[in-house]
Amino acid sequence: MQAAVTGTLVLVGAGLMLIAAIGVVRMPDLFTRMQATTKAATLGAGLVILGTAVNFATFSVTTRAVAAIAFVLLTAPIAAHLLGRAAYFLGVPLWEGSVRDELRDRYDWETHILDSEVRPEGALPPDHPRA
Amino acid sequence: MIGLLWILLLALAWTAVNGEFTGGQLAAGLVLGTLITLFVRAPGSDYLRKAVVLFGFIGFFLWELVLANLRMARDVLSPRQRFAPGVIAVPLDLETEGAITAFSTLLTLTPGTLSLDISRDLKVLYIHDMYAADAGASRMAVKSGFERRIRRLLE
């Protein structure tokens, strides 16, 4: 019984990560690729770790497993946010099939300041060093 | 300071109940104690309602995480690419920094969405959405589902 649960958890987790890996190859641009990896990295790794905890079924392993899952949950989205933001600044283009980009024209490309509204052409943000 | 004392007491109680005084047990007790004191000292709350909201939220989040993975698997494996990705601006109703951090972090793990950046005045969150054909509908879905729950939980 325990072996069956462990096996299922590890297999499903590994399967998700395999799908994410295929996604990295098949998805058309950086942002859609990160969509694939972030979600599967979290749930897939979480399930594998959970499987480990079920397999050993001891207090010390379980607490470590819970901590590891918590860290994966916290760090994966932050990594995705930083990578996505950096890619946007570097000018990595969105896939040509993308339907909208409401972030365009809202960054100040010199200072990386992001406004909540589109600024008029050529205007500087209020606390820009040259304003 | 008194809070710290409480955490220590709760940690000691935890090791006592478990019957073994080891570093691991003490650490677990400290974590639990911290969680409990955080939980209990939330202003103006009755604990039962708070607990119901918290467990409801955890259930909702896990379900969204599973759903996100199923959709992602469908998008990756289906021969034709049916998604219509795009970057969408979501105006925020959340006010505290903690709530916004929790929202933008967890939002990345829900179906189709990936937090990219937040405007300097913390009023707009920019997300990459796999299904951005109808920006208004996407905004509504994020706001009425996830943001409302975060708000109930943390603000």
A44-89 tens-digit pLDDT: 999 999 999 999 988 888 888 888 898 888 888 899 889 888 888 7
Which tokens go with A83? 């990578």
Q: pLDDT tens digits for A27-53?
A: 888 888 888 888 888 899 999 999 999
pLDDT of residue A46: 93
In whole angstroms, what is the distance from residue A40 CA to residue A59 CA?
27
Fill in the amino acid letter for B3.
G
In whole angstroms, what is the distance from residue A80 CA to residue A84 CA?
6
pLDDT of residue A99: 73
Highest mean pLDDT among A110-119, B57-66, B92-101, B121-130: B57-66
- The answer to whether the CB of B107 falls within 8 A of the CB of B142 is yes
- Tell me how close the Cα of A77 comes to any Cα of chain B, in angstroms: 5
What does the DSSP 8-state code read for residue A114?
B
Cβ neighbours for B90, distance < 8 A, ≥ 6 positions apart: B124, B125, B126, B127, B139, B142, B143
pLDDT of residue A114: 74
pLDDT of residue B44: 54
pLDDT of residue A19: 92
Chain B residues with CB under 8 Å of A34 CB are 114, 128
pLDDT at A123 over 80: no
pLDDT of residue A96: 77
- The answer to whether the CB of A8 falls within 8 A of the CB of A20 is no
A19 or B20: which carries more pLDDT confidence?
A19
Rg value, chain B, Cα: 20
Considering only CB atoms, A31 lies closest to which of B77, B114, B123, namely B114
Cβ neighbours for A32, distance < 8 A, ≥ 6 positions apart: A95, B83, B85, B128, B130
Q: pLDDT band for A15, please (50, 70, 90 cuts).
A: very high
pLDDT of residue A130: 54
Contact A80 B114 (CB under 8 A): yes
Contact A77 B87 (CB under 8 A): no
pTM over 0.95: no
Cβ neighbours for B110, distance < 8 A, ≥ 6 positions apart: B61, B64, B65, B67, B68, B146
ipTM of predicted assembly, 2 dp: 0.79
* B129 phi and psi angles, rounded to 5 deg: -120, 130
Q: Measured at the alpha carbon of residue B28, what is the angle toward residues B49 and B66, in degrees to the nearest 5?
A: 60
- Tell me how close the Cα of A3 comes to any Cα of chain B, in angstroms: 23
pLDDT of residue A44: 92
Quickly count: other Cβ atoms within 10 Å of residue A88's Cβ: 22
Q: pLDDT tens digits for B39-64?
A: 776 555 566 677 788 888 889 999 99
For chain B, list residues whose CB is within 8 angstroms of any CB belonging to chain A: 18, 24, 27-28, 65-66, 68-69, 72-73, 75-77, 81, 83-89, 91, 104-109, 112, 114-121, 123-124, 126, 128, 130, 132-133, 135
Considering only CB atoms, A80 lies closest to which of B27, B86, B108, namely B108
Residue A95 sits at the chain B interface (C-beta within 8 Å): yes
HEC string for A18-61? HHHHHHHHHCCCHHHHHHHHHHHHHHHHHHHHHHHHHHHCCHHH
Residue A74 sits at the chain B interface (C-beta within 8 Å): yes
Tokens 């951090």 belong to which residue? B101
Q: Which of A61, A66, A69 is nearest to A41 (CA)?
A: A69
pLDDT of residue A50: 93
CA atoms within 13 Å, Cβ hemisphere of B17: 8
Residue A99 sits at the chain B interface (C-beta within 8 Å): yes
Q: Say whether B48 sits in a helix, a strand or coil.
A: helix
Mean pLDDT, chain A, integer: 82
Domain boundaries, chain B: 2-40, 47-154
